[in-house]
Amino acid sequence: MRLMRSQGFSLIELLIAMMLGSGVLLAIGSMLNFSNATLNALEQQQRLDNELSSIALKISKDIRRAGAFEHNQTIESKSNVDFFSVHEQGLPASGKAYFRNYIASVGECIVFTYDLNMDGCVGAKIPSTDCFLNDKNNTKYPLGEIFGYRKKDNVIEMTNTTMKNAVSQPVFDCVRPGVGLQPGQVSCNDSVFSGALCNNSKGNWEAITDSRFMRIEAFSLTRTTDSNEIVDSGDNAVIYPRYQLNIRAVLASNPAVRGEIKQVITLENPLR
């Protein structure tokens, strides 16, 4: 009886097959690792972008309120809003000597004011009195209606003042901008917009970003060049300025993941 020879792989063929199989497995493993790394990077980028968007939204909503005061002849005649504003030289076409601006950018710090308690003044109004006497301020704790954001080290901070205890404070001693200063006196707008508040190293500020999650590299607010259009003329002339907010950050756990957001903000309250 004739025997049939069995068919199979030789040792060399088996080794080649094993090598090819191992190569395929390694390729699949590398692809999976690459996919996981890519997905992880995308997830980190999304988290950073979401956090930047959230912070920018909060800041822009607050900035839009700058200059929110009751504007009518009776209130303005008794208000000190002119004391706590930046005077911008009026354009010839406006017929105004200057416009009052209630927001200023000092380096990596933004300072602005609006009427939080809606009494028509900056600070707490003393009952039955005007908010200024001659050329001197006559309100308590105007810092409670002065707000700001700044970059400090690797975080963004905001002012944490309130009007809660304003009535128990003394009248804040400062004078109208442009008035000659006596020894010891300070201009009201200089006390706010000169950088004194921005450079305060303690108190009044608290972090709104977490340096353990992201590190802020840049923070700025810039007036856009196309935001000087004058509406109306004479005493009624106003300007609605636009600003660009810019925030740039890196992920603390992976500095290769970077994010930046630029947002244009139009103030709801015009320069008057």
2 in a structural domain: no
DSSP 8-state assignment for residue 175: B
272 residues of the chain, pLDDT tens digit each: 455 555 555 667 666 766 766 766 677 766 666 666 677 888 889 999 999 999 999 999 999 989 888 765 556 678 888 888 887 777 666 677 778 888 888 889 999 999 888 888 898 888 888 899 999 999 998 888 889 999 999 999 998 876 666 767 888 899 988 888 888 888 888 777 767 778 876 567 899 999 999 999 999 999 987 666 777 877 778 888 899 999 999 999 999 999 999 999 988 888 87
Q: What is the predicted pLDDT for the residue at 39?
A: 79
5 in a structural domain: no
> Residue 197 CB: number of other CB atoms within 10 A?
21
Spatial CA neighbour of 84 closest among 139, 41, 164, 165: 139
DSSP 8-state assignment for residue 18: H
| Rounded Cα gap, residues 51 and 260, in angstroms | 11
C-beta of residue 203 within 8 angstroms of C-beta of residue 159: no
271 in a structural domain: no
Q: Is 158 helix (H, G, I), strand (E, B) or coil?
A: strand
Spatial CA neighbour of 223 closest among 239, 240, 242, 238: 242
| Rounded Cα gap, residues 232 and 226, in angstroms | 17
Q: Is 215 helix (H, G, I), strand (E, B) or coil?
A: strand
| Rounded Cα gap, residues 164 and 141, in angstroms | 10
Strand order through the sheet with 146-152:
103-105, 109-113, 146-152, 155-159, 205-207
**Tokens coding 160:** 């944490």
163 in a structural domain: yes
DSSP 8-state assignment for residue 72: S
56 in a structural domain: yes
Q: Is 131 helix (H, G, I), strand (E, B) or coil?
A: coil
C-beta of residue 230 within 8 angstroms of C-beta of residue 237: yes
272 in a structural domain: no
| Rounded Cα gap, residues 270 and 241, in angstroms | 7
199 in a structural domain: yes
**Tokens coding 125:** 């109004």
| Rounded Cα gap, residues 26 and 15, in angstroms | 16
Q: What is the predicted pLDDT for the residue at 38?
A: 75
Q: For 41-79, what is each residue's pLDDT tens digit? A: 888 899 999 999 999 999 999 999 898 887 655 566 788
Q: What is the predicted pLDDT for the residue at 213?
A: 96
Total structural domains within the chain: 1
The residues near 59 (Cβ < 8 Å, ≥ 6 apart) are 110, 149, 156, 245
62 in a structural domain: yes
| Rounded Cα gap, residues 191 and 83, in angstroms | 10
What domain range is 172 assigned to?
Answer: 12-266
